Amino acid sequence: MSAAPNSQYPVALPALAPPGGTLEGLKWLALLLMTGDHVNRFLLNGTLPILFELGRIALPIFVFVLACNLARPGQLERGTYPRTVKRLALFGTLASVPFIALGDLLHAGWWPLNVLFSLLALSITLYLIERNDPTDRVAAGILFMVAGSLVEYGWLGLSLGVATWFYCKQPSLPAAIATLLACAALALSNGNHWALAAIPLILAATRFDLQLPRLRWVFYAYYPLHLGVIWLLRTMVGDVG
């Protein structure tokens, strides 16, 4: 992590462009925290509050990893956005089966859509912004407003992703403030401020160059798989009981 030279600001702002292995490490940490949260929520009836609290750190990490990857130069030309969108759409749909079956949703048995759809909406929004066309930017705003009413973490999660992407593209004080405010605002959804713990964790992690292989499909497949396993275990326990 190096300081971004910018004469507009009296303090050099850190450029967030960690190596791929470090991003992979952050992703694995977020998967671990998310799994602990889901085990506590669906199998332990929320009896371990610390797992819930630590689980609030997962979303900001997932959002950062996605935004950081999409903010790298040349991603539009290399077709990274469409590939990411297709994977998120596929595995988000697969995850909907156990996600809905676990039955912890707020309305009509399906709302909100799971977090992969949150990341999907974010990816499409950033794609439209990246294309730098006035019509596409209007479409990005419309998508942001509509998708924010349908997915987990809603407009708060999407706002965090957009602000983080802008900061990773070009570190600036407005983007840094927007990122901090969006992360803090997750407390409206979480009921606590544990999401803010992701920020020093991410800043610290970017100082290391972890040599971890990138397993492209593991994250996508893990989400519906772990929900399916939890669903199966809960069903088995219920049948035994």
> Looking at residue 155, what is its pLDDT?
97
φ and ψ of 106, to 5 deg: -85, -30
Per-residue pLDDT tens digits of the chain, which is 241 residues long: 445 545 465 567 888 888 889 999 999 999 999 999 999 999 999 999 999 999 999 999 999 999 999 999 999 999 999 999 999 999 999 999 999 999 766 555 678 999 999 999 999 999 999 999 999 999 999 999 999 999 999 999 999 999 999 999 999 999 999 999 999 999 999 999 999 999 999 999 888 888 888 777 888 999 999 999 999 999 988 655 5
Opening angle at CA 39, ends 84 and 52, nearest 5: 85
Cβ-count burial 58-85 (b if 16+ within 10 Å, e if not): bbbbbbbbbbbbbbeeebeeeebbeebb
160/5 Cα distance (integer angstroms): 24
> Looking at residue 11, what is its pLDDT?
60
241/235 Cα distance (integer angstroms): 10
Contact criterion met (CB below 8 Å) for 192 and 59: no
Cβ-count burial 138-165 (b if 16+ within 10 Å, e if not): ebbeebbeebbeebbbbbbbbbbbbbbb
Can you list the pairs that 173-182 forms with residues at least 24 positions away whose Cβ atoms lie under 8 Å?
A: 173/8, 173/9, 173/13, 176/13, 182/156
Instruction: Name the residue among 74, 73, 84, 71 with its Cα closest to residue 168.
Output: 71
Contact criterion met (CB below 8 Å) for 22 and 209: yes
